[in-house]
Structure 1
């Protein structure tokens, strides 16, 4: 179906991103998978073509875009190419909005130029060993000491945690026995602060070129000038960007499922079994037709959701519906497309195997499918 949400500027940007991926990312994916991360110099090159600074105000060197459509285009193309750019998606679509919404002017002058030129990458540290989605139960603490906070605790599953020069750490600065959600604060920890260490780079099933780390904070002295927003109000602040975060996950899921579908079509047209192409078998046609239908439905949901996001009208429940449907469909589609490849689909030399491994986490991070159902059910009054 024709997509009507893009104009000529969007299409021109898409071509620039596509050319960059073809020349600088696709040839290096295997190397970055083995390395376990995307080198930092790559993010300077993505900044050169405008990706990093899309939503950074122009006075700090960015593009000043209010629309999410350009972000969407960048990560669609990354998915269509069956590639990954490590922690860049989390930096741009999940972490950067907190800086945009809550930085004061002094903080903007300190950090925004680096975001725009690719010299600064940020991540966010919420999850702790043993707490999972229970943010209110976190054990990391930050105690006020004059003009600083003394930070102690540990975090895990931190996407971009190895490369990031800035880490937004969610810590408990006070306790309210009547409200577990009160008393959480966002502190920006900078690379090189004494007591801040990065643990082992976690070995994952998929997304192997995305650096995921354990972080430790032992008596880290964080200046009060590095507090984002209001002290003690982090819980409500964290909920502010959930809709965009979940939509961005759905966008990548949709794009990678689309890539898998194309890979399968190309493969079944070339591969012969019993003297004829696999594409000639009725089962092949039915499976790929079913995938195409699910892709069309997911794309329609995403496009409508992005328009709503730009208008400030994307509700948490609607974002949850999109993430639930698209990521569940992604899992089914990529599994079916790998099956079309037969034994070759299980070999790492074929991109479909990487897409298969990468897809599994889509139904977990940003809120599991089960959490999405809870959000949707609440919106129904259940």
Structure 2
């Protein structure tokens, strides 16, 4: 029923959209319940995703990617979350965050070492910023990297790290100069198979996203060669992290778009089949009004995110624009999904119904990538 074609689509992207929709239905949806139960996707699924071009779609072909741009990443994300194969696969972190850091800031050697294997799914990547005592305030991180001979030695811990249980590469935010504030932050890539002293903690239990592994990571004297310092220059980590935040927040908006579409379609189908007081739930005036509200919000969000992606492609999507889009889309999505869950009645509270997982995932959008309150503060700083 819901039909929206983004203004930046072309014939190639239409083909990609169809291919991804089919892949999600065939290779992801049948396994979603099992992945949620076991707390992670199957490791070999990463290779399957690499084979169909789902990984690193916007990375240049010379580094093993598929030579697209952010529109290709956006369409892959949209179809993943619009179909029932949505939350368990952490490709957003892998392809649209980690791979972009390596592409934009890595040395030529780093790009050639890591990106081709990330594109095939041979290597899974995570980014480790958050610590038990430091979230949005990255200047307060305590994980330290000091030089000892010709190696960095990393000590510290990270928490809430997506892809942490399966990651072969961990882009780790560290302090290389604890006295220099933001200018003392660097990003060092830890290759986990070779890192003595690296340890994965619990696969953390969460309110939602049960199929996506989220971990504690521990670094106890982990020795890393200097060639793994992202970009090869110390003290650039804070700037590197800030540079890509607008795109990371836009990824969350695209994710919300796809999931909200699925919530609307799922609820219409449920209301059509559900019988109550001698008729269909869909025929009740309150149901029709609520669905009309949700569809209106869904279309407005699609139009807004459509424009944001187009502006991002033109280089016009700045940090304030991203903050505005992220908080508003996240809050509106959660409110709309809440209405959809309410229309499911008691069934909406049951884990076997898809809307229940969408509700808990939508709650995360108001927190991940910077909370709603942080986004509003960032916007308001311009007022003086």
Question: Under TM normalisation by the shorter chain, which class is it?
Answer: over 0.9
Deviation at 1:241, TM superposition (A): 0.3
What residue number does 1:182 align with?
A: 183
Q: In the alignment, is the contact (CA less than 8 A) between 2:99 and 2:115 conserved in 1?
A: no
Contact 2:272 2:280 in 1 (8 A): yes
**SS class of match (2:307):** helix
CA distance in 1, matches of 2:5, 2:367: 31
- Residues 271 and 153 (structure 1), Cα distance of their counterparts in 2 relative to 1, 3 Å cut: same
**TM-score using structure 1 length:** 0.96
CA distance in 2, matches of 1:152, 1:21: 40
Is 1:139–1:172's contact at 8 Å kept on the other side of the alignment? yes
Aligned partner of 1:59 in structure 2 is 62
Alignment of 1:114-193 (within 5 A): 114-176=117-179, 180-192=181-193, 193=195
Alpha-carbon displacement from aligned partner over 1:111-163 (angstroms, at most 9, x marks no partner): 12101211111111101002221110111100012321110000000011111
Q: Is the partner of 2:161 in helix, strand or coil?
A: strand
| 1:298 corresponds to 2:301 | yes
Alignment match, 2:52: 49
Give me the whole-angstrom Cα distance separating, in 2, the residues matched to 1:220 and 1:288: 53
Deviations 1:335-357 (A, max 9, x none): 11011111111111111111112
Q: Which residue of 2 aligns with 1:373?
A: 376
Partner residue in 2 for 1:84: 87
Aligned partners of 2:211, 2:6: CA distance in 1, in Å? 31
1:1-382 equivalent positions in 2, closer than 5 A: 3-65=6-68, 67-82=69-84, 83-176=86-179, 180-192=181-193, 193-229=195-231, 230-379=233-382, 381-382=383-384
Partner SS, residue 51 of structure 1: coil
- TM superposition shift of 1:11: 0.6
| Unaligned stretches of 5+ residues in structure 2 | none
SS at match of 2:262: helix
Quick one: distance in 2 between partners of 1:306 and 1:367? 19
Residue pair 1:347, 1:353 contacting (<8 A) in 2 also: yes
Deviation string 1:203-254 (CA, Å, 9 cap, x unpaired) is 0010011100000001111110000022012111110000000000111112
**CA offset at residue 108 of structure 1?**
1.6
- Deviation digits for residues 16-49 of structure 1, max 9, x if unmatched? 1111111111010000000100112111111111
Q: Secondary structure at the match of 1:182?
A: helix
CA contact (8 A) 2:88 2:210 kept: no
**Backbone CA RMSD of aligned residues:** 1.2
Cα distance in 1 between the residues matched to 2:274 and 2:178: 63
**Contact between 1:254 and 1:327, CA under 8 Å: does it hold in 2?**
no
Query: What is the CA distance between 1:2 and its match in structure 2?
Result: 5.2
SS at match of 1:319: helix
SS in 1 for 2:182: coil
Contact residue 298 and residue 325 of structure 1 kept, 8 A: no
TM superposition score normalised by structure 2:
0.96
What CA distance in whole angstroms lies between the structure 1 residues aligned with 2:108 and 2:135? 33
- Note the alpha carbon deviations across 1:271-298, whole angstroms, 9 max, x for none: 1111111111111111111111111111
Q: Does the CA-based 8 Å contact 2:263-2:340 persist in structure 1?
A: yes
| Secondary structure of 2:235 counterpart | coil
Asked if the contact 1:324–1:372 (Cα under 8 Å) also holds between the matched residues in 2, the reply is yes
The whole-number CA distance in structure 1 between the counterparts of 2:321 and 2:371 is: 15
